[in-house]
Chains A and B, each alone.
Chain A
């Protein structure tokens, strides 16, 4: 079974969880992105669902990126870490309801989720795709609002923003390639059950 794990804040809890579930992982060393035995790859969190969709057997990624990428993968389990939310935030001095945001320009790392969210509300917004620190877009005046990950709200407050609506709850997810689920049926089911026992026991 081949694994792809996300760089960044989900990396450590992902490795811990898999080890507790009895998966022996040798991790890539130094600057290599693939372990010596070729079983474990490390990718940008945003790209993990893409690798799983296109052939790596198992991966771990946030529900935000899975939704944004719209990847055709199986998601057998929600994992007990990476919990946060994706929210709409606007300048604190100009609070507004999402329903009243027609014509707003929204900066985000998640343009697809953002467009779907506002179109469900019947509100037309323009999205600007950025790769990080999206609060800056409002402070510099190139956007009227942002859709971004909120954990504690400290970053928002420090940048004069206020959260006005939650778009979705975010959690780490276990991803399984659709074909791997069939070809390695017993092995994958065994892994899912082992991880479930770890989660239920935690």
Chain B
């Protein structure tokens, strides 16, 4: 849909509110140049040739972070337009926590997502948490069928699994996982995450599969009953031997849900420009927003 200046202003406003929320959790903003040298490891972006080289304009930020990460423990966030290979882009706000520990990093990143949405006044949403390890375990011994089973999951088509030459017991187990949605699964790590997050909008759902090549185990999808498309999602991955987890929010989706509650400035007016601006300067110094009319 064609956007107006007011949409872009609101998009920036959403970006700024998210920045505040991410900073409160101790995350630092990272910015990259618009153009990056082409690499197989970097997803999305629009490819072009210049001189003898190939380049990408505004590719996926997580894969850029993974490629360029050297060492340490770090909490990052970004707000960036990501191009789709053509001339269209999608504004994304994402967060990455690299070098964390099991359970605590999962809990933290889910809470960052929840509080970030709440800071936009978006309260009606759900987060479904899934696990790739659960499926790896459930398909142990039938590895040749793993790809087909993952395809069945991505399409949510159990018929594909039923047509596989595997035992009825196994099919039954896969069917149970396929339809599992709840708060307790009996799996220690996942149950611990859900319990510590303690939010009625967060569920375990093993039918949730986000097929990104770098995810290693826990994955999640964030959605609102008001929109037909996900608001965002994320998952766990590994970078240079360190455990990491992150998520990205689709800012176009947020734009549809955000009602906008800009903080009102204190109105200042008077005859003397000098006096009014001197007062305004004092208020701004104290962190109080102003709106000057002289």
Q: Measuring CB to CB, which residues of chain A are less than 8 angstroms from any residue of chain B? A: 53-56, 72, 74-78, 176-183, 185, 189
Residues of A contacting B: mostly: mixed
A53 contacts across to B, CB distance below 8 A: 228-229
B126 contacts across to A, CB distance below 8 A: 182-183
CA gap between A56 and B179 in the complex, in Å: 22
B156 touches A (CB below 8 Å) = yes
Determine if A181 and B128 form an interchain contact, defined as CB atoms under 8 angstroms apart.
no
CA gap between A182 and B207 in the complex, in Å: 9
CA gap between A17 and B224 in the complex, in Å: 30
Q: Give me 25 A-to-B residue pairs in the complex whose CB atoms sit less than 8 angstroms apart, sorted by A's number.
A: A53-B228, A54-B229, A55-B227, A55-B228, A74-B157, A75-B155, A75-B157, A76-B155, A76-B156, A76-B157, A76-B158, A76-B159, A77-B159, A177-B228, A178-B223, A178-B229, A179-B228, A179-B229, A179-B230, A180-B228, A182-B126, A182-B205, A182-B223, A183-B223, A183-B225
B10 touches A (CB below 8 Å) = no
B159 contacts across to A, CB distance below 8 A: 76-78
Q: Measuring CB to CB, which residues of chain B are less than 8 angstroms from any residue of chain A? A: 126, 128, 155-159, 179, 181, 205, 207, 223-225, 227-230
Q: Would you give the shortest CB distance from B178 to chain A, in whole angstroms?
A: 10
A189 CB contact (under 8 Å) in B179, B223, B229: B179
Q: Would you give the shortest CB distance from B108 to chain A, in whole angstroms?
A: 24
Which of B157, B207, B230 gathers most chain A CB within 10 Å?
Answer: B157
Q: Would you give the shortest CB distance from B228 to chain A, in whole angstroms?
A: 3
CA gap between A183 and B157 in the complex, in Å: 18
Which single residue of chain B is at the shortest CB-CB distance from A74?
Answer: B156
B157 contacts across to A, CB distance below 8 A: 74-78
A181 contacts across to B, CB distance below 8 A: 156, 207
B227 contacts across to A, CB distance below 8 A: 55, 179
B156 contacts across to A, CB distance below 8 A: 74-76, 176, 181
